[in-house]
Structure 1
Amino acid sequence: MLIFATIFISAALVFYSVGVWSEKFQKTLKLWHVIIFWIGLICDTLGTTMMEKMATEGSLFSFHGITGLLAILLMLFHAIWATIVLIKKDSKMMGKFHKLSILVWFIWLIPYISGMIYGMTK
């Protein structure tokens, strides 16, 4: 299960990074960005769920557990908000959306990196 969890978490990093940074460089939110955000969220949720099933008791309330939950909730908010902005076709918001995307991406990196560090020390 560890291999699949690692694959899903790594896929989340790839999908989310491609979505966030391509949106920033293209200077507008597009449908394919939103789809990539949702795929990244799904991959992260699957990988995190698998990791949680293997984790020791009490790890949910660790730094990594709390930041991981926060990151998934932020990714969910981000994907929902991206969907709303795209449906409304608000060009002003579509052009500024990358600021939120980059913030969420950086926050998401915290549990990703802390998970790698924690995994390497075990």
Structure 2
Amino acid sequence: MSLKNHWRILKMNVQLILAIITISLALVFYTIGVFSERRSGSLKLRHLGFFGLGLVFDSTGTTIMSMIANALGPTAGIGLHQVTGVAAIALMAFHFAWAVYVLIKGSQKAKQTFHRFSLVVWLFWLIPYIAGLVVGMSH
């Protein structure tokens, strides 16, 4: 194997590790946001911060994973993992925007019941996260 191929493999391994770390940080931050909001009984600015960090880290990790996939060449098609991953990021972005709206203009009741929506988004987000683990372990 040439030095160029060794460098390419090393670069992909570093990218993969970085993607795994960022997506795992997304899980940590989003989980803290969802469950601390639920525990506090009302949506607060700090919860918004955790939602935002989760979204940023998930988007970053997903972008890195996409770069790796593109470097490996054409794929057989778009699978469940890709579809649910894109849907989860879109749902997280909507969740974040809705949280901003609720914090600024929402009623006290809306702030107290927002956690129901947060839990649904978090549960949906777990689908591509777990699918990514399964796909990763199968290779």
Instruction: State the TM-score, normalized to the length of structure 2.
Output: 0.84
Q: 1:62 aligns with which of 75, 79, 94?
A: 79
Runs of 4+ more than 2 Å apart: 56-60
Q: 1:79 aligns with which of 96, 102, 110?
A: 96
Whether 1:28 and 2:42 are equivalent positions in the alignment is: yes
Q: Note closer, same or farther for the CA distance 1:6–1:59 as it changes in structure 2 (3 Å cut).
A: farther
Whether 1:103 and 2:117 are equivalent positions in the alignment is: no
Larger Rg: 2
What CA RMSD, in Å, does the superposition of the two structures yield over aligned residues?
1.2
Displacement of 1:60 in angstroms is 6.7
Counterpart residue type for residue 22 of structure 2: F
For 1:85 and 1:60, locate their aligned partners in 2 and report how far apart those are by CA, in whole Å.
Answer: 39
Segments of 5+ residues of structure 2 without an aligned counterpart are: 1-14
Segments of 5+ residues of structure 1 without an aligned counterpart are: none
Q: Which residue of 1 aligns with 2:26?
A: 12
For 1:17 and 1:36, locate their aligned partners in 2 and report how far apart those are by CA, in whole Å.
Answer: 8
For 1:59 and 1:30, locate their aligned partners in 2 and report how far apart those are by CA, in whole Å.
Answer: 44
Q: 1:44 aligns with which of 49, 55, 58?
A: 58
Counterpart residue type for residue 105 of structure 1: W
Greater mean alpha carbon deviation, residues 74-83 or residues 57-66: 57-66
Query: Per the alignment, in what secondary structure is the counterpart of residue 42 of structure 2?
Result: coil
Answer whether contact 1:71 1:104 (CA < 8 A) is retained. yes
Greater mean alpha carbon deviation, residues 53-62 or residues 108-117: 53-62
For 2:76 and 2:26, locate their aligned partners in 1 and report how far apart those are by CA, in whole Å.
Answer: 21
Percent of residue pairs identical: 48
Give the aligned length. Answer: 122
Instruction: State the TM-score, normalized to the length of structure 1.
Output: 0.96
For 2:137 and 2:89, locate their aligned partners in 1 and report how far apart those are by CA, in whole Å.
Answer: 22
Kindly provide the CA deviation profile for residues 92-122 of structure 1, in whole angstroms up to 9, marking residues without a partner as x.
1000000000000000000000000000010
For 2:108 and 2:47, locate their aligned partners in 1 and report how far apart those are by CA, in whole Å.
Answer: 15
Displacement of 1:89 in angstroms is 4.5
Answer whether contact 1:4 1:47 (CA < 8 A) is retained. yes
Displacement of 1:58 in angstroms is 3.4
